[in-house]
Amino acid sequence: MDERLKEAVSLHKKGALMPAQAIYRDILRLHPRHADALHYLGLIALQQGQTQAGVELIGQAVEIDGCQVPAMSNLAMGLLQLGRHVEALGCYNRALQLRPEAIELHYNLANALLGLNWHDEALRACERALKIKPDDAALLQNRGTALLLLHRYQEAITDFERVLALNPDNPEVLNNRGLALAALGNYDEALASYERALAQQSDFTDALNNRAIALTSLNRNTEALASCNRALALKPDFADAHNNRGNALRNLHRFEDALASYERALRSNPNFREALQNYGAILFVSGMFEQAAHAYARLLQLAPDEDYVLGSLFSCLLRCCSWAQYAQLKERLVQMVRAGKRAATPFSLLNASDSPADQKRCAQIYAADLFPGRAASPRPGARHRHDKIRIAYLSADFHNHATAYLMAGLFEAHDRRRFEVCAVSFGQDVHDEMRGRLQRAFDRFFDVREKSDIEVAQLLREQEIDIAVDLKGFTFGNRTGILAQRAAPIQVNYLGYPGTMGADYIDYILADRHVIPEEERQHYSEKVVYLPDSYQATDSKRSIVQQVPGRGQVALPESGFVFCSFNNCYKITPAIFDIWMRLLQQVPGSVLWLLEDNRTASASLRREAAARDVDPGRLVFANRMNQGEHLARMKLGDLFLDTLPVNAHTTASDALWAGLPVLTCLGQSFAGRVASSLLHAIGLPELVAKSLEQYEELALRLAASPSRLAEIKARLAANRASFPLFDTARFCRHIEAAYMHMWERYQKGDAPEGFAVP
């Protein structure tokens, strides 16, 4: 019998499974409880993919002979394939009790635990085995992998480098080392590690995909795209590579192609959460808000606590003016943020909470998660001393954009005897009239689209920039990661984002006492610098087309009072819309003139009007047009109705510049107090209501009193030339005084501190 078993085992080892199987069966016909024959016959079943049969046969062998360590190990392997994880781990542990020095068993146990995502247990298994054999490369690799998955990246790198000292050409270890380096933000080193892995194994699709991620993080998106394409040529259904290809295309502003890549990733893996989130985001930036909302809703079904998705869904529904879930989502978002959850981006929270405390908490969570500080402030010994203070304005919007409309005059007005002013542009190179004007306005214009955050920060250091002014904050297209590198000794949050950034590397926020009352300063991580009039820059050179269109040309009725609000539709809330509809009901023949933001929102607003017994035809929607023509048509409005909790910002400035009175309601947070700031600076504080009830009452009074409204319009026209709001030169002197004081404090070695410009 022993000879027959030896013959079968020999055939088995040579891969002659069928003859070996026949002999094992012959043995079992004569000796049904022959443990070795049962074990090996079960092993053949596993090799042939007959997992259940294999487990049953090997299980019988182990029952007969409980000391068969190889049988226990193979049984564990089969049980894992059947998803019977606890039983499998029990087999490994029983085998290790019999042979505690068996390194292969420790290795298999650790592998099994890693496969089950039981990372802590895998780490402990590796550490027990390494006490027996401290320099075992396979065990060190497994321990490094466990540490990587436990986010203990530096320890993982140490283990991977020990393995590479033994085997410098191990592509899997080089790939995993790259993952750990990337997680620490060391993308250049990670890229080098992936390149070494690919030098050993050019068809290593995981390394090609990870290389693409590193390249994207370094803003080398064209190369990232090529790396994804290489991976997909080898593995066409590689969902991760399709997703990362979409990321590279998105960063290259090829949104349609990015959308197709995310869709391809989701066809390969319908429950791929990261791809689904990216898909929703690209739909959002493409203006397909309804489809984006469906994507986010589906993602929340898969993962109810997925980071930032609830806030993204809330934003999409606001863009659609779809309010069925408004109150519920708003309350849920606020509670999650207060609990420290990553529920919303700071920008998406603005419409959910008017509380500066909530907004600060949200910003702190977001900044710590996505933009942690990467470097300490420059040491006092590194202070630069120039004849002129060097200021860098950072933005993606140096073209026809709301920020540029406000800031262009300031850029031109800066005193070149005292200041050297440069632009750091990370937006698209749009060849429009405003772009040309701005390029002429700056002393230097740096296009950094293809540079990484680290490279841009290094550029600012090389240019010895004294003050970096971030004009984006937490708005779309921001590059907060540049400031997280401490790109300049003084870093300022201004204009783009109406709130705190919650990051200790942003030193100051420029404000006024209307947008940030002194008692609210505690809710800003930055030191508050108060400008004396309004915090908002304006451009006194903005042109308005002289030819005002007729009412019929813009679809307005020839008579009747025109309430208007050209805010983006996401700022319209149910409470505000209720007031607007009551105004239409109480002012016969009046209409509400709104911006046509997207057709879904317009249709929703018409339905909401009908639900409030208002003829939807009394809502008139204005298409977008160039700035000069838009300002001219604003003259046809009678009263601009502001929104809350997010006011009109640039749009309020537009209206006042065009001579259209703005009625606002004072909110609690910065975003809800901007119009108040502007109205005080133009000498019309009576248009700032203290409550929604007062807002509604005042709107009704003005609509019913043409003489009173005419008097306000006349004052607005007169004040435009004499009050501070549109005095660009005056504003420039004030902001330069602020920059000078910041710089002087820094030169003296004093920490940032809040102050007021006299």
Q: Is residue 75 part of a domain?
A: no
DSSP letter at 752?
Answer: P
Kindly report the pTM of this predicted structure. 0.90
Residue 110 contacts residue 146 (beta carbons within 8 Å): yes
**Residues 636 and 507 placed together within one structural domain of the fold:** no
CB 627 within 8 A of CB 657: no
In this structure, are 698 and 601 located in the same domain?
A: yes
CATH of the domain at 400: 3.40.50.11380
User: Got the DSSP string for 70-122?
Assistant: HHHHHHHHHHHHTT-HHHHHHHHHHHHHH-TT-HHHHHHHHHHHHHTT-HHHH
Sequence-distant (6+) residues with CB within 8 A of 290 are 316, 320, 322, 600
Q: Are 716 and 398 a contacting pair, CB within 8 Å?
A: no
590: Cβ contacts below 8 Å, ≥ 6 apart? 560, 561, 562, 563, 583, 584, 618, 703
- Does any domain span residue 306? yes
Asked if 569 and 690 sit in the same domain, the reply is: yes
Burial call 490-510: b when 16+ CB within 10 Å, e when fewer = bbbbbbbbbbbbbbebbbbbb
Q: What is the mean pLDDT of residues 672-701?
A: 98
432 lies in the same domain as 349: no
For residue 380, the model assigns a pLDDT of 42
Indicate the angle between helix axes 402-413 and 433-441, nearest 10 degrees: 30
395 shares its domain with 524 = yes
Residue written as tokens 């606890």? Answer: 86
- In this model, does residue 242 exceed pLDDT 50? yes
C-alpha distances (whole Å) from 67 to each of 98, 314, 408, 510, 702 are 7, 61, 83, 76, 94
Residue 323 has pLDDT above 90, yes or no: yes
Q: Are residues 689 and 570 in the same domain?
A: yes
Q: What is the mean pLDDT of residues 71-78?
A: 83
Report residue 521's pLDDT band, with 50, 70 and 90 as the boundaries.
very high
Q: What is the mean pLDDT of residues 146-171?
A: 96
* pLDDT, mean of residues 248-271: 97
Residue with tokens 């404090």: 745
Ranges of beta strands (E only) in 206-258 are none
Cα separation of the two ends of the chain: 104
Q: What percent of the chain has a predicted confidence (pLDDT) above 90?
A: 84
Q: Is 200's pLDDT higher than 80?
A: yes
Q: Strand ranges (DSSP E) for 440-487?
A: 444-447, 467-470
Co-location of 515 and 569 in the same domain: no
Predicted confidence (pLDDT) per residue in 468-516, tens digit: 999 999 999 999 999 999 999 999 999 999 999 999 999 999 999 999 9
Q: Are residues 387 and 481 in the same domain?
A: yes
Name the nearest CA neighbour of 592 among 694, 699, 689: 699
Domain assignment present for 223: no
432-470 residue pLDDT tens = 999 999 999 999 999 999 999 999 999 999 999 999 999
Rounded Cα gap, residues 98 and 101, in angstroms: 9
Asked if the structure places residue 122 within a domain, the reply is no
Same domain, 515 and 420: yes
Residue 271 lies in a domain: no
In the predicted structure, residue 381 carries a pLDDT above the cut 50: no
Residue 511 is assigned to a structural domain of this protein: yes
CATH of the domain at 681: 3.40.50.2000
- 549 has pLDDT over 70: yes
How far is the C-alpha of 221 from the C-alpha of 213, rounded, in Å?
A: 9
Q: Which pLDDT score, from 0 to 100, does residue 379 have?
A: 42
Residues 468 and 489 sit within 8 Å (Cβ to Cβ): no
Q: Whole domain around residue 306: which residue ranges?
A: 287-370
| DSSP symbol at 382 | G
pLDDT value at residue 219: 95
Question: At 361, which helix (H) or strand (E)?
Answer: helix 356-370
Residue 345 forms part of a structural domain: yes
DSSP symbol at 420: E
Does 504 lie in the same domain as 564?
no
> In the prediction, which pLDDT does 616 show?
98
Assess whether 453 and 324 both reside in one domain: no
* Mean pLDDT (the chain, rounded): 95
* CA separation for the pair 428, 400 (Å, rounded): 11
Percent pLDDT > 70 in the chain is 99
* Residue 376 scores a pLDDT above 60: no
Q: What is the mean pLDDT of residues 301-312?
A: 97
Domain holding 291: CATH number? 1.25.40.10
The answer as to whether 242 is a domain residue is: no
Give the total number of structural domains in the chain.
3
The number of beta carbons lying within 10 Å of the beta carbon of residue 436 is: 11
Rounded mean pLDDT, 124-137: 91
Prior bond of 685 cis (ω within 30°): no
**Sign of the four-CA dihedral 656, 658, 660, 663:** negative
Q: What is the mean pLDDT of residues 70-79?
A: 83
Check: CB of residue 633 under 8 Å from CB of residue 595.
no
- 399 and 462 fall within a common domain: yes
Range 258-286 average pLDDT: 98
For position 375, what pLDDT does the model report?
59
